[in-house]
Amino acid sequence: MIPALLLLACRGPLPAGDPTRPDIVLVSIDSLRADHLGAYGYHRDTSPNLDKLAARGLRFEGARSASPWTLPSHMTMLTGLWPTDHHVVEDDLALAPSVPIVQESLTTAGYDTAAFVSTIYVSGGYGFARGFASYKDYGITERDNLSHPVRVETLVEDALTYAKEKGKGKPLFLLVHIYDAHYPYVPPPPFDAQFDPPATVPEMLYKSYRFFQKRPLSKKRMAQQVAQYDESIAYVDHSLGRLVDAWTDSDRPAYFVVTADHGEEFGERGSWGHAHTLYREALEIPLLVAGPDVVSAVRAERAGTIDIAATIAAMAGVPWGHGPGVDLRGPVPERTFLAETSRFDSARVSVQTANRRLDLDLVTGERTLFFTDVDAAEEHPRVTGPEVEPLERTLWEALGERWVGDTGTLRTLGTFYSGGERVGQELATPARFGVFPADANVYAGATDPVRGVIDAPATGPLRYEGARTAEHVTLDAKTREQLEALGYVQGPDE
């Protein structure tokens, strides 16, 4: 609950900004599936405020994330690069200082920039703070993260306070990351009883993916989890109404971009949660764009998190040009979309065109093809077809073969690929090859392992000839404990 004095301090209109340069507010709602919003046809009244925003702006159908978990997805949002290029794919990797990130461009152009984030995976230690004048990640390091210590109402109040203190005569770029729709779904009263009786105990077994696969929930318990998820969305939407209204009631021109980092699985394929697979329910996200020159429309062109950096830069009138993203206010060309995950024991990559999606499991070598033009829900997988080869070739080209080995036999705990083929865990040289995931150890004979693209030498018989876009993050004991509490560190028998 926010103290009454703080609420009183935050009331009142926003100051006049810069009439020639609009504010830009990027809202990322963690774990939010598009099909649980009213604007996307959901049967429950979860999102009246976001529905209003969608009605006066652009709503993209079938928008996609590049990753089914928070860290690489947000890195794609702000760099405009696929995970195959920014390489920040694990929780001990951060963005290299040499890689452009969009808020730097806005700061250079005279924007006042601030971020308010509510999970460790969008915290400053991963490189997200670079370029922001103010970055508030609330020092989230304690074990109570699953109780959501930083709620959406706090984020909204802090963002509005910042706008009132810093926005006079200046344009603002604000990032607001919201964690309340992430498990274990614990909205406060009265939202906790909006769609079902209040939960007495959160379903903490959720955090063990393997536990659920062995002991799936009954239909009744799963229905309760979905109801609690929807209640969490309603809570988020209620607070976001205050954020949007503050600009609506002011004279400040402003763009709003609302999206999510990934979706959420609710047992559709015997799985629950996110990060492990690349199916539609894990990657399909809402994407709303509203602002001064945005005409209301529903857009069917494929768009996603890859476009957000380019869109924000164009809204601010600053040069960009990094990555394949486009300004979503204009024409959106048909493009190939990539996705990947290497969390836990997963090693999946995906390529999607206008009407086909190929999913490749690099652990087993299994290929799964979906005809998304007639099977949008991806319920009818195919394993063969003439479409597989060109899609797989596109995938290998995107992953890139930037390693060179001249002599000896190489081994990896990841997967080697070379010449458009999955090789496995041992490779005879000479060869040009790639390794997945990007940070997988590579062993050259009996020598100490090389930590993927992070530590790969630039010269010698084993070398890496690509760009270095990620660097090490040192996790202290408390942070590691916190990651375990979040369910992102799991033992082999869980």
Residue 209's pLDDT is: 65
In a domain, 254, yes or no: yes
State both tokens at 411: 């081994």
157 and 275 within one domain: yes
158 and 68 within one domain: yes
65 and 150 within one domain: yes
Number of domains in the chain: 3
Residue 183's pLDDT is: 86
Report the distance separating Cα 258 and Cα 155, nearest Å.
15
In a domain, 210, yes or no: yes
131 and 33 within one domain: yes
C-alpha distances (whole Å) from 196 to each of 14, 189, 231, 336 are 37, 12, 9, 41
121 and 67 within one domain: yes
C-alpha distances (whole Å) from 392 to each of 68, 124, 165, 414 are 20, 36, 52, 19
CB < 8 Å & 24+ apart, contacts of 160-166: 160/10, 160/14, 160/242, 160/243, 160/246, 161/9, 161/10, 162/114, 162/116, 162/134, 163/14, 163/23, 163/246, 164/10, 164/12, 164/14, 164/15, 166/112, 166/114, 166/133, 166/134
In a domain, 486, yes or no: no
381 and 272 within one domain: no
260 and 167 within one domain: yes
In a domain, 138, yes or no: yes
Residue 3's pLDDT is: 41
183 and 70 within one domain: yes
CATH number of the domain bearing residue 232:
3.40.720.10
131 and 98 within one domain: yes
Last residue of a domain, one of 267, 298, 328: 328
Report the distance separating Cα 311 and Cα 333, nearest Å.
14
In a domain, 340, yes or no: no
416 and 386 within one domain: no
97 and 201 within one domain: yes
In a domain, 336, yes or no: no
Residue 146's pLDDT is: 52
State both tokens at 428: 């005879």
**Which residue type occupies 423?**
V
In a domain, 299, yes or no: yes
pTM of the model: 0.93
Residue 492's pLDDT is: 33
Give me the domain span that covers residue 317: 4-14+21-328
The answer to whether 193 touches 133, Cβ cutoff 8 Å, is: no
The answer to whether 346 touches 490, Cβ cutoff 8 Å, is: no
In a domain, 470, yes or no: no
412 and 322 within one domain: no
The sign of the dihedral angle between the CA atoms of 452, 454, 460, 464 is positive
Q: What is the pLDDT along the chain (494 residues), one digit of tens a residue?
A: 444 434 444 457 999 999 999 999 999 999 999 999 999 999 999 999 999 999 999 999 999 999 999 999 999 999 999 999 999 999 889 999 999 999 999 999 999 999 999 998 998 989 999 999 999 998 765 454 455 668 999 999 999 999 999 999 999 999 999 999 998 888 999 999 999 988 766 665 555 666 777 777 788 888 998 999 999 999 999 999 999 999 999 999 999 999 999 999 998 887 778 888 999 999 999 999 999 999 999 999 999 999 999 999 999 999 999 999 999 999 999 999 999 999 877 899 999 998 999 999 998 899 999 999 999 999 999 988 899 999 999 999 999 999 999 998 999 999 999 999 999 999 999 999 999 999 999 998 777 899 999 999 999 999 999 998 999 987 666 666 666 555 554 433 33
